[in-house]
Amino acid sequence: MIERLFVAGLSHRTAPIAVREQLVVDEDKLREILAGLVGRGTCAEVMILSTCNRIEVYGIAEVAGEARTAAFRQMAAQRGVDLSIIEPLLYAKDGAEAVQHAFRVASSLDSMVLGEPQILGQVKDAFALAQSSRTVGPVLHSLMSQAFAVAKRVRSDTEVGRHAVSVAFAAVELARKIFDGLEGRSVLLVGAGEMGELAARHLQDVGTLPLYVTNRTASRAQELARDLAGTAVPFADLFGVMGQVDIVITSTAASAPIVTTREVMAILPARRGRPLFFIDIAVPRNVEAAVNELDDVFVYDVDDLRSVVEANLRERQREAQRAETLVEREVEKFSERLRSLEVVPTIVSLREKLEEIRRAELARALARLPGANEATRQALEALSQGIVNKVLHAPTVKLRDSSKSGHGHRWIEVISELFGLGGKGRGAPRG
């Protein structure tokens, strides 16, 4: 069964975004592709994970290479892309390697940003889409259920996702440390830069309130304030508002500092020692370097934040080693469990076959004993059942032991042939 499991795809590690974006198709088209792969018998089970950083096909198939080609041919055809451009960029994994890959992807150990949490939700969405398309069977269901459990363990048992590795989020982490918590802290966003907006959104996520937005172009400040559920303020009121807030994020395109030491010194007396935290994400810097020397004022620029990010990345990589060990253990457990499942149909069929023979022979014996009382009938029933159980014991143990060692399919064939099970109970065909 595990031999038929495969994953094939391309990701940020193997293909540039110019190629990846050409394979992105909408949900309706994905449903068509999934249904077609199963409907034509190319795959017994299949799901497709499509994100900005990876497009992957997870499936159960007799011939994994044919299934992989068929899936990517259809995705490429939707966008008019030549399959020959894509094929050299594809990777493919089978069996236990495919299991390991699925666990690593769900646990964000294969992500561009190690430990990021979004990928787990994306895998769950892809699984839900395949389920609603009726292309998920017992193997993919088991695989994904276990992948979600492994991802949860990686999240709870290691700290691979607990260290900020984006400039915007690193700024939030620093602010949290300075203020010993951010709930109810007020924020002023100066400028409408993308990174500044992202930092503001992170701050909102941890409970900062209220948020003010100012920009030289008033309409842009109003638009961004609406998006962030904040309040737009005129650029001329910049320092008046700055005197009231706890955190200032600057991200303007100004060629020289717009926040000087003199202006900050002027607003400090009214603050009565209340800390003021600047997140200067602009290049060139918006805040004069000397502002950081003032009492109760903390300034972090892009370089400061990047040094935090780099330190946190190193910490995540150390934690990732622990996570990889956890994944390896879970892969072995899952592989053993999946291998044991492949012998179950043969065990069931063997028992049914012997039970059929037992009942027929018991009926013939009782027919020759028309005067047998109930005690005799029960004794013959127990005798025949005992013989069947003893005959079943050795092949059942052999099948289960062989599945653990990876030789289950060979013994499925031997026992099916020996007991005349035919096609019944042979388990999963080899891929």
How many Å from the N-terminal Cα to the C-terminal Cα in the chain? 8
- Bridge partners of residue 248, in order along the sequence: 188, 278
d(CA 147, CA 408): 24
**3-state secondary structure (DSSP) of residue 296:** coil
Q: Please report the DSSP string for 242-283 in residue order.
A: HTT-SEEEE----SS-SB-HHHHHHHSGGGTT--EEEEE--S
52 counts as catalytic: yes
Q: Tell me the C-alpha to C-alpha distance, in Å, between residue 429 and each of 2, 18, 92, 343, 396.
A: 10, 39, 20, 12, 19
Query: Shortest CA distance to 263 belongs to which of 291, 300, 233, 235?
Result: 291
Given the residues 52, 369, 394, 397, the one annotated as active site: 52
- Bridge partners of residue 190, in order along the sequence: 214, 250
Cβ–Cβ < 8 Å for 10, 89: yes
CA 357 to chain centre: 50
Query: Would you name the residues annotated as active-site residues?
Result: 52
